[in-house]
Structure 1
C-alpha cells in the first residue's frame, strides 16, 4: 500500500468518525438539555371530541415520560410529535402494543418503555387521536 493510499484511507476514516459524532450528538436531544426539559416545541391546535379526551388521558398516563403535549422529556422519554412516529412508520397499532406490552429501545437512547397498566383500549384510542392531532398540527402526516 502506498503512502498516498494510507493518507487517503486515514482521512476518509477521520471524516467518517467526525460525521458520526456530529450525527449522533445531534440526534441525542438529551445531551443538549437538562433532565426533564421538553425536547420539542409543539403547537397545540383547538381540540375536540376524542382528541380533547385524549389530552387529559395523555397528561395522566403518558406525560411523565413523553412530556407535556407529547414534546418528550430529556432523560425520560422521546417526543411523540416527531417524524419517527408518523403513521406510515408507527401505525396506530404500535401505540396499543406499546401500552400493553412495552417497547424495547430502538430509535432513541431512553431505555425500554414498560407496559402501562390500567389503560383501556378506549383510552388508547383517545390518546392516539390526541397524538395524531398534534402531529398533523405540527406538519407530521
Structure 2
C-alpha cells in the first residue's frame, strides 16, 4: 500500500475511536461523569419564556400525576421514569396519540429499563391533551421537534 492510503486509513481509525469514546452529545468533560443519583433529574431542561394557556393547564396536571416518575419539567427521574424531553419522544416517533394510549393502557418497557408504566387513573382525554401540549412546548424549547 502506498503512504497516502495508510494515512487515510489511520485517520479513519482515529476518527472512529474518537467517535466511540465521545458518543454523540458528550464532551470530554462529561464522558467520565458519574450517572445521576437515584431520584435526580436525568437531563437538563431549558424552560420556555412562557407557555400557552393549554400548556399551563398541562403543566399543572403533569405536576400532579406525571412528575413523580417523569420528573420536574419532564426531565426524567433516575430510578423512576424516563425524561420526556428526549429525542425518543419527538412527535415523529411518539405522536400525540401515543400519550393518550400510554395513559389509558399503560406502556410496556421498551426504550428504557424502568419497568412498565401502568395506566394512569383520573385523567381525561382533555387532561392528556393539555399535558401533551406542555411536553411538546418543553421539547420545542429544547430542540426536539
TM-score class, shorter: 0.7 to 0.9
Q: Partners in 1 of 2:60 and 2:117 — Cα distance?
A: 21
**In the TM superposition, what whole-angstrom CA distance separates every residue of 1:16-48 from its partner, at most 9, and x where no partner exists?**
xxx7xx98xx9xxxx712110000100111112
Q: CA RMSD in A?
A: 1.6
Unaligned segments of structure 1, at least 5 residues: 1-18
> Structure 1 stretch 108-117 or stretch 47-56: which is displaced more?
47-56
Unaligned segments of structure 2, at least 5 residues: 1-19, 27-33
- Residue in structure 1 matched with residue 56 of structure 2 by the alignment: 52
TM-score for both structures, normalised by structure 1: 0.78
Of the candidates 23, 34, 40, which is equivalent to residue 37 of structure 2? 34
Of the candidates 106, 111, 125, which is equivalent to residue 107 of structure 1? 111
Q: Partners in 2 of 1:61 and 1:120 — Cα distance?
A: 12
> Which one has the bigger helix percentage?
1
Matched, 1:129 2:133: yes
Q: Partners in 2 of 1:117 and 1:58 — Cα distance?
A: 13
Which 4+ runs in 1 deviate beyond 2 A? none
